[in-house]
Structure 1
Amino acid sequence: MRGHWWSCLLGLLCMPAGALLDPWTVSQNPPAISLMRVNSSAEILCSTSLSNPMGLYLLGYFQGDRSVVYVSLAEGRVTKRTVHSGFTGRVDVVPDPGTGPGCGFTLRLSLLGLEDTDVYYCKWSYFNTHTLTPESLESNGTVVIVRERDPQEQCDGHAMDLIFIVLSVTAFIVMLFLFTGAVILRCTRFKKHYRPARAIARSRPCRHQHVFPQHRGQQLPYSSRSADSLDFRGIL
């Protein structure tokens, strides 16, 4: 894009000086920059106030002043001859009804390609009756920039990319807020219904009571009594 603007600036600075010396004799429209798309067409209107033009050239400035097309007006007859081979079959010349016969033509360039980007200007040839020599007058140029895509489509494409980025960022922010809100709500509910558990007292371990076994009386052989035993106390 920057290269195109530099081309436009150079084209405006390097316009033929004939238009500045005699701006009312020849004219060319559109004088503004034309942004064209590949395979599109550009129309350039060339007109003059000369009463006896001999011919009209359409030249390309940055391509070594190449002659795109030449329109012969000799003897009152309008004939067309394409000069540059690259424009064969791509140039239409239509007389302008708003001017006098042979004093205005619309030059239509079709099937434009990227290599056709240039500053195009009209050059009228005529016979100077004062000097008795053929002379020419050049008009202001028309900057034609050919691009792969239409500028409006490119702007629309950038706008769609920007909209997509904005929507993506917005969706991410919304999802982040929803997630954060859900976490905060869950924490709030958990805190509201939370009941701390009471400490459970540990039971002391049961101590085994030592049960002393009952000592049975020692049975002495002499003190034991029996129902069948004999009582010797009566005998003695």
Structure 2
Amino acid sequence: MKAHWWSCVLGLLCMPSGVTLSASKVSQDPKSISLTRVNSSAEITCSTLQSDPMSLSLYRRFPDTMQIAFLDLKNGLVSKTTPGAGFHGRIRAAPSQWIGDGHGFTVQLSLLGLEDTNLYYCSWEFFKKETTTHETLSGPGTVIIVRERDPQEQCRGHILDRILIGLSVAAVCVVLFLCAALIVRRKRFRRRFRPARAAERTRPNRPQHSCPQHGVQHDPYLMTSVNSSYYRGIL
């Protein structure tokens, strides 16, 4: 497709001077580059102020000049033929009402493909009674560039892609920010953290067993005395 586009640009720069000079007697619309998409249609209006044209042809410029449509205008009758290969059933021609005193036809190319990107120009043929010769006048040409999608859709697609990329970058930045915040908070927590000492185990209070104090039993038959001399006196 790029090769077709560059060939059209070179064609505009290297068009013969005869075609440029004849543009004052014939006109062709649109003059600017027409951008369209696959399987769509494009219209080219060819007009002239010269009287009694014999025929009108539409040519494709590159890679070789090829006649893709021919309108026979003799005797006020219009008959169309499509000699160009690959254009059968894809070209329609209708008279233009806004031309006024001149002559004009609108040629429609339908079912456009990427290979139809090219430079198209109209060519009128006249018969000069003064010199009994045929004169050919060509229009300035119309460049048709066919793309896979509509340029507006491509722009929308690029905008959506940029929005998605922006949202993805923002999401990544948010995740990184949260991770950094968690890491900083964890470091601060470690610095301030002081482990608690283990509580000393308290031994359970054991019950204190008090030995019962046995009182001195008095036996009537046994007499005891602390003083040993007492026993000696008795014995």
2:95–2:105 Cα contact (<8 Å) kept: yes
Partner of 1:213: none
> Comparing 154-163 with 132-141, which one deviates more in the overlay?
154-163
Aligned to 1:151: 151
**Aligned mates of 1:111, 1:67 — CA distance in 2:** 18
Root-mean-square deviation over aligned CA pairs = 2.1
Deviation at 1:151, TM superposition (A): 2.3
Q: 1:105, 1:116 → 2: CA distance?
A: 21
> Could you tell me whether the CA contact under 8 Å between 1:11 and 1:143 is conserved in 2?
no
State the match for 2:42 in structure 1. 42
Q: Which residue of 1 aligns with 2:62?
A: 62
> Which amino acid is the alignment partner of residue 178 of structure 1?
L
Structure 1: runs of 5 or more not aligned: 199-236
Offset, 1:190: 3.8
TM (normalized to structure 2)? Answer: 0.76
Q: Post-superposition shift, 1:11?
A: 2.5
Partners of 1:5 and 1:168 in 2: CA distance = 36
Whether the aligned pair in 1 keeps the contact of 2:125 and 2:136 (CA below 8 Å) is yes
Distance (Å, rounded) in 2 between the aligned partners of 1:2 and 1:92 = 28
What is residue 134 of structure 1 aligned with on the other side? 134
Tell me what 1:185 maps to.
185
User: Gapped runs of 5+ residues in structure 2?
Assistant: 198-235
- Partner of residue 53, structure 1: 53
Instruction: After superposition, give the CA deviation of every residue in 1:124-162 in whole Å (9 maximum; x if it has no partner).
Output: 000012321011001111111122222222232233222
**Which residue matches 1:165?**
165
- Equivalent residue, structure 1, for 2:113: 113
Q: Work out the CA distance in 2 between the residues paired with 1:5 and 1:116.
A: 11
Q: TM-score, normalised by structure 1?
A: 0.76
Give the equivalent residue in structure 1 for 2:226.
none
Q: Distance in 1 between matches of 2:116 and 2:23?
A: 27
Report if the CA contact (8 A) 2:59-2:122 is conserved: yes
Aligned mates of 1:111, 1:101 — CA distance in 2:
33
Partner of 1:97: 97
Partner of 1:176: 176
- Per the alignment, do residues 170 and 4 of structure 1 end up closer, same or farther by CA in structure 2, a change over 3 Å counting? farther
Aligned length: 197
* One-letter amino acid of the structure 1 residue matched with residue 157 of structure 2: G
Distance, in Å, in 2 between the alignment partners of 1:137 and 1:122 is 8
Aligned-residue offset at 1:101: 6.8
Report % sequence identity: 53
What SS does the aligned partner of 2:15 have? Answer: coil
Looking at structure 1, the residues matched to 17 and 131 of structure 2 have their Cα atoms a distance apart, in angstroms, of: 21
